[in-house]
Structure 1
Amino acid sequence: MSTLTGTRHLVRLILRRDRVLLPLWVLVLSLLPMTYATSFFELFPTAAERAAYAAGTARNPSIIALLGPVYGDSVGALTAQRGGFLTVIIGLFSLLTVIRHTRTEEEAGRRELLGGSVLGRYAGLTAALLVTYAADLLLGLLTAAGLASTGLPAGGSLAYGLAAALAGVAFATVGGLAAQLTESAGGARGIAIGVLGLAFALRLAGDAAERDWLSWLSPLGWAPRIRAYEGEHWWVLLLPVALSVLLAAVAYPLSVRRDLGAGLLPARLGPATARRALSGSFGLAWRLHRGQLLGWSVGFGLLGLILGGAAEAAGKSVEGNPQLEEIMSRIGGASGLAEAYLGATLSLAGLAAAGYGIQAALRMRAEETAGRAEPLLATGVHRSGWLLSHLVFALLGPVVVLAVTGSATGLTYGISVHDVPGELTRMIGAGLAQVPAAWVLAGLAVLLYGLLPRLAPVAWAVLAVCVLLGQLGAVLELSQWLLDVSPFTHTPQVLSDHWSATPLLVLAALALLMALAGLTAFRRRDVPVT
């Protein structure tokens, strides 16, 4: 029997399981760069306007720290920089996909069952990597085609698309290696995301401080250095390929030398007796959620520092361009272009915070499918108390991370305008205004889990639709009724002079109703549902 026997069947299984989520993410992420290019063509039709924008904003240290360097003032160069953060998202998507189909399958016991059949030693890891690699490359090709369709040069479009795709390939392999190191999927995700965070920190520090050698140490620093649309350096594409080969050469031997269910790193032994804090369902939920909540809070805090530091420059950069001033004012209200920028970016932070709420809500589904919920609920733990303990983090988690984002944004923006106390209060309020919309998606995840647990991951697809509507709605001139599908469309811009709290109350009530309906349905159905 070959070491790859059964790989084709596992690939088909993965494609069947991800038949909704995988194509949706590929489509959304491939369309975003095209919308950026279209916007730049419309907002900066002349070379002089593009040059002014590049000088005022694109070369601002805070913008460079967030998006990466810009190597020219053409529409292509500005688009490549604007899409710089997409490589982080693609990398995150890729590593999570590989871990879900390797370590998570192993932790749940499904890989052991498959291993009892005719299955080669390398088949599981190979199938996960092949599917993710193919999705990344398809994403890159669709991105290149979309950019070329806007009128940008085909060579630069292909360079940008391949650079983004190969960044995903590199971090997919990071995920494959991390899956061999620990015996838990959570530990593997922590290691892989930590590597992604370190890569982003190196790229950020190198670009912001103009220390180019630091950026070259980061896989996220390679993508912009292909210089798409500005004399492409094609040889840079060899770097993520070489890194992937090196990491795979380490991951494959580890995958067969360790015991099934074990990891290279030994599991840390817990205390002989549990702490009093673990005596109830809330204490257990706190133990399960605290690491993710801390990680999200730190990440959002760093993001807020960058966004707040870039706000003043973003506001000044559009002065003299009436078309852009009108659009920015419509996005963020009439209180100034810098505040329009802050309103728009905090809205994006709200979308990301909704992702945390969904993740926290779906932890219940993970506990159930792993077989840990059933024996727990067979004791004196009541179903309502168990679900409510996780619901606390699904609802309060977005509050925490958005408050942290608003605080960090208000601090750096307040320093730039010499009004820290006033801006700190306003930005915290603007961040918290996104909470009810995030609650709606978390409530939807709870409702699906309680009523139709197999469809609970559909909440991620709904979030992707909200992102798509928010990013493409204005560009594609979609009907208002379609835009209203997203709860974030109804969030008022609290940084403007006049706004109403009524939409926030309605969204919060809707989220509460869905959560209560999910709780009621969960109390009546069987556990587990596989």
Structure 2
Amino acid sequence: MTVAVALHPGGSGTALLVRLAARRDRVLVPVWLAVLVLVCFASAASTTSLYTTEAERVDAAKAINASPGIVALYGPILDVHSTGELAMTKLTVTYAVLVAVMLLFVVRRHTRGDEENGQAELVGATAVSAGAPLDAAVVFGGAVSLLLGVLVALANVAGGLPLAGSVAFGASWAGTGLVATGLTALACQVSASARSCAALAAAGIGALFVLRAVGDTTDAPWLSWLSPFGWNTRLRAYGDTRWWVLLLHLGLTALLVAGAQALRRHRDLGSGVVQPRPGPATGSPRLADAITLSLRLHAPMTVVWTLAVALCGLVFGAIAPSFDAFDSPAIRDMLERVGGAGAFRDTLLSAVVSVLAVVVTCFGVAVVGHAGNDEHDGRTEEVLATATSRSRTFLAAGIVAVGGATWLLLVTGVGLAVGVGNDTDHSFAGLVASPLSQAPAVWVVVAGALALFAWRSQWALLGWGLVVVSVTLDTVAELLGLPDWVLELSPYHHAPMMPLASFDPDPALVLTLLAAVLATAGWLVYRGRDIG
């Protein structure tokens, strides 16, 4: 992309760079915002129809608090009489993670991403101050966060929730976005590449989520006060609101941004505070193969993801026995409508497996996004200048994306089985197979991202839209009572609810064939289009 920046004499250029960022993200950011706002509205509007009386809503809230497993995933409901807290159960913490991920990619793109592809150096050659790119990325990330907070507050009010509580909830999401903006800005100064920056920032977000989960499910609730995700719950948006909690988001954001600014002044453009380990003077002959090269480039990322999903599997497997603590008929009936009648623990384990499958899908889409960045920044042309075919290059991205996601599902299953141990009627192999049964749905989304990348390198980022839309359809369609065909548009809807239900090969075969068709179509398009 050609960047042209014209500045007034003496200006730092921050304002114009913010406008440039808004121009570049004119599609991606609005799509993210629309999906998140729609989910909030659907959840707010459907709660009173799911629970018709106050007694049912109180029983549901108490049942959720009675299970450490659900509290670890969604967070506690501090006021069981609050309809708003029940309506926003999943969104207060779990969907706030999606908010943080959105800001991670936005800020990284306009900082470390621009340095890696040379745009920051081009802009720096104009009358732009050295700190303007970082300032612009932080301001743009903050503006997106605040806009999201306002839209979410309006959506919740439209869904029937109180105005004051909706404003507080929207402010908590805006605060989460601000913290993610600062965290990513800091990671971009520490890391020397866009890949390592994303891994470091994602690890930080994951650590904050785990810290909150441990605090909410153990005898150390003070740990939740160390995490912004815990602050979202402690805010009590739809109860006795603690408005002062929002100052914690602002304070942490200020510290992270100040740290990022300090580190920026102590590093060279294009480098990081932590320099990568120098490689050998002569590369391995194996790296001449595109597939081996791709595996090597994504090895650190794969290791981090492997450890993360293994830990998630172990944690949720270990707390699985507590799932039986639910004794609410209302909650039991609701879960049976969603997942089918069966053992209560199996129903909730199936829900956990479904969530982790979506998380693993993000790995495959991220790999495809890296392939798009490599092509857009000219690195793919350097590979193709050797004796490497286009087919081999496309195959390399596909193998790492699809194969890596499948590997992570396997690791998730092993972690789940080890965590559960003997405290279940299912065999070790059956628990391992539960996440793997989600593989065809994951393959469809990743193959769709590959097809978008094959059509145009910049479209690789739209793969994230496929993830968000698929999850939204699987959530919003049921909450709003939309026709079944809308729900069936999501690949995740067709994945078996293991270990609750047995494996059905027919949907898995159809999804696998669909993934193969998308990947093949992408391969055919990629072979014939211009590179770059």
- 1:387-414 Cα offsets, whole Å, 9 max, x none, are 2222111111221222222333344445
- 2:4 matched residue in structure 1: none
Distance 1:131 1:372, change over 3 A: same
Stretches of structure 2 that go unaligned for 5 or more consecutive residues are 1-7
1:387 matched to 2:397? The reply is no
List aligned pairs for 1:280-319, cutoff 5 A. 280-309=289-318, 313-314=322-323, 317=326, 319=328
Partner amino acid, structure 2, of 1:447: A
Identity of aligned residues (%): 35
**Secondary structure at the counterpart of residue 280 of structure 2:** coil
Q: Distance in 2 between matches of 1:144 and 1:415?
A: 45
Q: Is the contact between residue 67 and residue 325 of structure 2 (CA under 8 Å) also seen in structure 1?
A: no
The residue number in structure 1 matching 2:170 is 161
CA distance in 1, matches of 2:292, 2:252: 41
State the alpha-carbon separation in 2 of the partners of residues 409 and 447 from structure 1.
32
User: Aligned partners of 1:374 and 1:425: how far apart in 2?
Assistant: 44
Aligned partner (choices 480, 484, 489) of residue 484 of structure 2: 480
| Alpha carbons of structure 1 residues 102 and 390: separation in structure 2 relative to 1, 3 Å | same
Q: CA deviation at 1:495?
A: 4.4
Letter in 2 for 1:76: G
Q: After the TM superposition, which of the residue ranges 145-154 and 308-317 deviates more from structure 2?
A: 308-317
Q: Which residue does 1:329 correspond to in 2? A: 336
Partner of 1:515: 519
C-alpha separation in 1, matches of 2:112 and 2:126: 19
Partner of 1:77: 85
Structure 1, residues 58-79: CA drift from partner, whole Å, max 9, x if none?
Answer: 2422333333333121222334
Structure-to-structure mapping, 1:243-258, within 5 angstroms: 243-258=252-267
Residue pair 2:69, 2:323 contacting (<8 A) in 1 also: no
2 CA distance for matches of 1:319 and 1:201?
27
The alpha carbon displacement at 1:166 in A equals 0.5
Partner in structure 1 of residue 346 of structure 2: 339
Cα deviation per residue 1:103-128 (whole Å; 9 max; x = unaligned)? 10011001111222232333212221
Q: Which runs of 5+ in 1 are unaligned?
A: none
**Aligned residues of 1:80 and 1:228 also touching (Cα < 8 A):** no
Equivalent residue, structure 2, for 1:448 = 452
Instruction: Decide whether the 8 Å contact of 1:440 with 1:487 is kept in 2.
Output: yes
Q: Is contact 2:434–2:499 with CA below 8 Å preserved after alignment?
A: yes
Aligned-residue RMSD, C-alpha: 2.6
Post-superposition shift, 1:177? Answer: 1.9
Measure the CA separation in 2 of the matches of 1:236 and 1:4.
36
Q: TM-score, normalised by structure 2?
A: 0.90
Correspondence for 2:506: 502
Q: How many residues align?
A: 523
Secondary structure of 1:518's counterpart equals helix
1:15 is the counterpart of 2:19: no
Q: Is the 8 A contact 1:62 1:309 kept in 2?
A: no
Contact 1:357 1:397 in 2 (8 A): yes
CA contact (8 A) 1:440 1:507 kept: yes
For the residues of structure 2 that align with 1:511 and 1:382, how far apart are their CA atoms?
A: 23
Summarize the Cα distance change of 1:219–1:319 in structure 2 as closer, same or farther, 3 Å threshold.
Answer: closer
- Cα 1:445–1:6 change in 2 (3 A) is same
Q: Provide the C-alpha distance between the structure 1 equivalents of 2:211 and 2:463, rounded to a whole number of angstroms.
A: 33
- SS of equivalent residue, structure 2 residue 190: coil
SS state of the match for residue 380, structure 1?
coil
Aligned partner (choices 362, 372, 378) of residue 385 of structure 2: 378
Report whether the alignment pairs 1:438 with 2:447: no
Q: 1:202 and 1:498 mapped to 2: Cα distance?
A: 34
Deviations 1:316-369 (A, max 9, x none): 626423xx5444224223333433333333233333322222222232222222
Secondary structure, aligned partner of 2:329: coil
For the Cα contact (< 8 Å) 2:59–2:328, is it kept in 1? no
Inter-CA distance 68–2: structure 2 relative to 1 (3 Å threshold): farther
Aligned partners of 1:522, 1:256: CA distance in 2, in Å? 42
Report whether the alignment pairs 1:525 with 2:529.
yes
Counting only pairs closer than 5 Å after superposition, residues 262-273 of structure 1 correspond to structure 2 as 262-273=271-282
Report the counterpart of residue 351 of structure 1 in structure 2.
Answer: 358
Indicate the residue corresponding to 1:458 in structure 2: 462
1:397 — aligned with what? 404
Change (3 A) 1:225 1:3: farther
Provide the C-alpha distance between the structure 1 equivalents of 2:53 and 2:245, rounded to a whole number of angstroms.
31
The offset of 1:22, in angstroms, is: 0.7
Task: Provide closer, same or farther for how the CA distance between residues 289 and 48 of structure 1 changes in structure 2, counting only shifts above 3 A.
Answer: same
1:140 and 1:162 in contact (8 A); partners too? yes
What does residue 5 of structure 2 align with? none
Aligned with 1:408 (options 410, 415, 435): 415
Give the alignment of 1:110-121 within 5 angstroms: 110-121=119-130
Structure 1 residues 500 and 225, CA, compared in 2 at 3 Å: closer, same or farther? Answer: closer
For residues 450 and 203 of structure 2, the distance between their equivalents in structure 1, rounded to whole angstroms, comes to 28
